């Protein structure tokens, strides 16, 4: 990543800082800590220090810096897309999203609520970037109209592979409740799971030879995880809970350009045996990261 890119992130975070202040968020929260860390990355790169580009395993300092770059970029992209579409981000959801440690490696079950809320915002931002108008912060977590159909999404993050089945069941129960309340037979439900922690607990960086390898490697991981847990999605009782969205976001190091980068991939799967395959395939073509 060129110094100008870090500088652009800092400039955009300054805009975000002003927006957060207008919303009443003044304290030194996780996004403000990310801004400080991106500044450190910029200064280190300008000084020619290579410690910010350590492949594979990360020490505590470098890990927090690179994750700040990744999460800052995610937050900028999501909130910008939502604001451009005039989609409201409820203050209660935003307040929760700003909590938690700056370094995800230090996150535990008690401090994970901030990134759980952030996942709702960033996923809604992906839908907004695709030209949709998501409603967030209620039940379900995200709802939007697509092809004259209502799509309902419940978002979960998992910190371990053993938690996937439980979180799928939890999201499915919530979607079944939401679908029953709405009484709209054409509604479609999606269970969205952030599986980033299964790939990277926070102490590693994805090392690739070139940028093209990022997508292929993360696609392989997403498909592997879906196949491993496909029975959990198929066991959901309500037929309209027909979609599974898996997302991975991690720092990456690209060898041929000697740069750090944000690596991200999201895959929307149709659950075998459920309806709405055509709808979900069309949505998957529209929403890509």
Enter the pTM of the model.
Answer: 0.93
pLDDT, tens digit (0-9, with 9 covering 90-100), for 135-148? 999 999 999 999 99
Tokens 């895959």 found at: 267
Beta-bridge mates of residue 188: 151
pLDDT of residue 70: 95
Question: Which of 41-45, 89-93, 143-147 is the least confident region?
Answer: 41-45
Q: Element (H or E) spanning 244, and its range?
A: strand 241-254
pLDDT of residue 58: 61
Of 55-59, 111-115, 150-154, the range with the highest mean pLDDT is: 150-154
Residue 49 — pLDDT band, cuts 50, 70, 90? low
pLDDT, tens digit (0-9, with 9 covering 90-100), for 19-32? 999 999 998 999 99
Tokens of 159: 């910190």
pLDDT of residue 59: 67
Residue 91, pLDDT above cutoff 80: yes
Residue 98 CA: distances (Å) to CA of 29, 103, 202, 279: 6, 13, 18, 34
Question: Which of 65-69, 241-245, 256-260, 273-277 is the least confident region?
Answer: 256-260
Contacts of 238 (CB under 8 A, 6+ apart): 172, 175, 176, 179, 189
Residue 56, pLDDT above cutoff 90: no
Question: Which of 6-20, 40-54, 66-80, 108-122 is the least confident region?
Answer: 40-54
pLDDT of residue 53: 47
Nearest Cα residue to 69 out of 283, 264, 256: 264
pLDDT of residue 65: 92
DSSP secondary structure of 123-189:
HHHHHHHTT---EESSSSSEEEEETTEEEEEEEEE-SSGGGHHHHHHHHHHHHHHHHHHH--TT-EE
Residue 74, pLDDT above cutoff 80: yes
Give me the percent of the chain exceeding a pLDDT of 70.
94
Nearest Cα residue to 270 out of 285, 250, 255: 285
Residue 51, pLDDT above cutoff 50: no
C-alpha 16, offset from chain centre: 18
Nearest Cα residue to 87 out of 137, 49, 24: 137
Contacts of 241 (CB under 8 A, 6+ apart): 172, 175, 176, 179, 189, 190, 191, 271, 274
Residue 38 — pLDDT band, cuts 50, 70, 90? very high
HSE, CB side, 13 Å, CA atoms: give it for residue 142. Answer: 31
Q: What is the mean pLDDT of residues 104-133?
A: 94
Average predicted confidence (pLDDT) for the chain: 92
Distance CA 184, CA 229 (A): 28
Residue 3, pLDDT above cutoff 70: no
Residue 110 — pLDDT band, cuts 50, 70, 90? confident
Distance CA 219, CA 217 (A): 5
- 176: exposed, middle or buried (Cβ count in 10 Å: 0-12, 13-18, 19+): middle
């Amino acid at each position: 990543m060129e110094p100008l890119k870090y500088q652009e992130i800092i400039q955009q975070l300054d805009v975000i800082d002003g927006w957060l202040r207008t919303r009443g968020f003044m304290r030194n929260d996780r996004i403000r800590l990310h801004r400080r860390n991106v500044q450190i990355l910029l200064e280190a790169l300008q000084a020619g220090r290579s410690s910010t580009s350590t492949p594979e395993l990360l020490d505590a300092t470098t890990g927090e810096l690179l994750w700040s770059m990744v999460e800052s970029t995610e937050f900028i992209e999501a909130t910008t897309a939502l604001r451009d579409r005039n989609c409201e981000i409820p203050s209660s959801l935003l307040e929760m999203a700003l909590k938690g440690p700056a370094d995800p490696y230090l996150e535990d079950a008690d401090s994970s609520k901030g990134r759980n809320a952030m996942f709702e915002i960033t996923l809604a931002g992906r839908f907004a970037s695709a030209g949709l108008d998501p409603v967030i912060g209620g039940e379900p977590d995200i709802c939007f109209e697509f092809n004259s159909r209502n799509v309902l999404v419940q978002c979960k993050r998992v910190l371990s592979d053993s938690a996937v089945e439980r979180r799928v069941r939890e999201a499915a129960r919530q979607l079944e409740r939401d679908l029953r309340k709405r009484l709209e037979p054409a509604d479609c439900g999606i269970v969205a799971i952030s599986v980033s922690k299964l790939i990277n607990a926070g102490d590693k960086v994805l090392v690739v030879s070139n940028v093209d390898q990022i997508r292929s490697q993360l696609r392989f991981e997403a498909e592997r995880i879906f196949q491993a847990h496909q029975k959990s999605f198929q066991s959901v009782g309500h037929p309209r809970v027909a979609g599974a969205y898996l997302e991975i976001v991690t720092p990456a190091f690209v060898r041929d350009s000697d740069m750090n980068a944000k690596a991200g991939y999201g895959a929307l799967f149709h659950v075998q045996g459920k309806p709405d395959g055509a709808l979900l395939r069309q949505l998957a073509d529209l929403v890509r990261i």
